[in-house]
Chains A and B, each alone.
Chain A
């Protein structure tokens, strides 16, 4: 059993920053946790009822109230400011695409459409894969995420990417993988009876290998 609070390894350009903020929060909350729980247990032990003990008659202290209002406020706002930068990188500022694909969720599969040799989507040389996303490393993969029926959630745990696919909306998702290999595609939003089976594989290639895979697929799928 894995009782660890360490995150599993991650493989995208932004995942280091996401994990970094996680660890910052883990330190802050972890220290707060130990201090407050220790105080609680210490007080419970020290001030437990004994013959002759009398509680102090004390209504509070404005100074202390101000202290424990301001200190948490400053800390959480700082976490907010740090988080904003990474959030904007992942979700707001989409870089120029190295590869553009369309991912369409439907009960209970992920369809991926690739641009084909002409490099443009929506042309006759587009080709598709089912429950597989193939992509090159070290290039921003820009995905147009769609759904045909209900809400699904496109989850790449190793890339630290998650985005709901909403019917009627085109949502842009991007990531850049840093290492070739096979990774997981999951669905993180309850989407019906077969929700549990809506998984797939993300395969990351070196640029040259991806080129080879892409051309062979394009040829195979030509009518």
Chain B
């Protein structure tokens, strides 16, 4: 019997390992409990989400009010802001650092660890009926590698020359030498931080894959797995294959910077485009790492809150796998203008267009799921429906960029900035709000305040669109991205009112997030107490106490059916938990205590 099986049997026997005796430091700091690690990832990434938002606010000040003193700017050091009698004006090198660090922090330290670190850890063991991850200590290491990576990344703001300023894509040769950017140590810290974070992700991915393959409860077949777990499983495979490419590229770039190698330096025979190929060969799967778990979360919430089975479960799974596969053959669409052979552009255009197909399948299936449903429009559902609505926009705007001739004009403009934010903010972040709100009772045993959530939802969906919709229009007018002062260009100067409008909307959007932050912390301590299954859900995590004890399941759950049997005629309620035995085949142990009285008709 393998160790895993022994542990499973142990769990099934109701073993609790005396975990309540754990000292504070093992329970809250160096925990091996997947639920605690999920919470640790959540708190750290929400902190980074706030940092990333503040960086965006500063950037938007400069774009809305180019060259005007920034309120509070005097508090920042002279390396970032130029002091004048009227106040401090942002320096272009600091603007470049903001551009770089906003992207880096949001992608690697906020969205990715929220989706993968939080929901991967929280949901996978609970939804498949496992007592923990396959490798709990590796799981702990995964979190404790992410922390120093985050500290290194933030500390780069304080070093001489400031934080990295070559964009989150860090194109060589700009990123190779401080000669080009004025950033020396900051760029190296950026590389070191992401390399360490890469190891964190890798360790996590190995753990998720092993857990899903080996530790599913009896009866939890592949096609009875909830879509969130499916999506996280495919995401883990993408991480496992993509991160080594990034790590290799990062180390090559670090060598170019520090010990004089020439992988990406043309003056010694290197090839700048090699960096882009390596980066995007990682980077495009990364984009799907950032959206697939969000799609999984949204599928859970929509089916549950519509009280209706997810429409086309099998095609949803196939679409997840399809997106995961296509993600490997489209990286060149980031490089249509890069100087790559233009003939390659056509093949990458065709493969990129093909991605529209699984995306369309998912969207239509969500629409068909709410069709003839019984929609409970509470806050998790509102966030999830916002995801669908915004993902439609982000998906459709992608077709413009996929078309190579149109991309000639809109590449590297605000059109792409709008597109990525419709997918990553309108998509991933709304799904994160949906997921945190939905699983909050499972994590903390209390509900979030519904009124505050609805206020937050209303403010966010409106302000979000006021920020990012007009960015399409800026891009169509030809405004480039990553530009410190667009008014330097005569033809862009008339865009100032729209930029100011966007900036004001950003300030309000960021301020509106305090409603969610307040609700989050208030509800942890003061929220209404939650039952085990406040949403009348079918999946396994709702059969255990909120929050679940160490070891999760008092006894090994047995799974009888798929996760989305809502409003089934077989059940007398509008849900039908995966573990509820079917009436025709009652399990033996339930029959024993009850005396069987034969009816006149007999059995």
Contacts and interface: CB of A to CB of B under 8 A. Distances in A.
A and B bind: yes
A90 B92 contact: no
Contact of A55 (B312, B315, B470, B567): B567
Contacts of A2: 473, 477, 494-495, 498
A47 B339 CA distance: 52
Contacts of B376: 49
Contacts of A194: 92
Interface string B497-525: 11001000000000000000000000000
B371 A47 contact: yes
B555 interface: no
Interface stretch (B68-76, B233-241, B345-353, B578-586): B345-353
A199 B483 CA distance: 12
Contact of A54 (B171, B354, B497, B567): B567
10 contacts: A4-B473, A21-B403, A29-B396, A47-B372, A57-B567, A87-B345, A107-B180, A162-B337, A188-B412, A196-B92
B484 A196 contact: yes
A166 B405 contact: no
Interface stretch (A31-39, A121-129, A130-138): A31-39
Contacts of B389: 37, 40
B264 to A, nearest CB: 10
B173 A149 contact: yes
B489 A161 contact: no
A29 B399 contact: yes
The 9 closest A-B pairs by CB, nearest first: A168-B266, A60-B312, A91-B342, A157-B478, A76-B353, A29-B396, A55-B308, A86-B405, A56-B372
Contacts of A189: 171, 412
A157 B345 contact: no
A3 B473 contact: yes
Interface string B400-429: 101111101101110000000000000000
A73 B409 contact: no
B480 interface: yes
Contacts of A199: 488-489
Interface residues of A, number: 86
Contacts of A171: 339
Given A36-B363, A59-B311, A90 B480 contact: no
A165 B388 CA distance: 39
A18 B353 contact: no
A44 B406 contact: no
Contacts of A91: 342, 345, 404, 408
How many chain B residues sit at the interface, stated as a range, is 35 or more
Given A2-B477, A55-B567, A68-B360, A76 B393 contact: no
A22 B473 contact: no
A40 B412 contact: no
A158 to B, nearest CB: 8
B486 interface: yes
A212 interface: no
B375 A186 contact: no
A184 B480 CA distance: 13
B181 interface: yes
A39 B400 contact: no
B44 interface: no
Contacts of A163: 337, 339
Interface string A51-81: 0011111111100110011001100110110
Contacts of B273: 166, 169
Contacts of B412: 153, 155, 162, 188-189
Given A44-B375, A58-B311, A190-B174, A83 B404 contact: yes
Given A168-B271, A189-B412, A7 B337 contact: no
A40 B388 contact: yes
B470 A3 contact: yes
Given A190-B166, A193-B92, A55 B480 contact: no
A168 B361 contact: no
B329 interface: no
B498 A1 contact: yes
Contact of B174 (A1, A32, A43, A191): A191
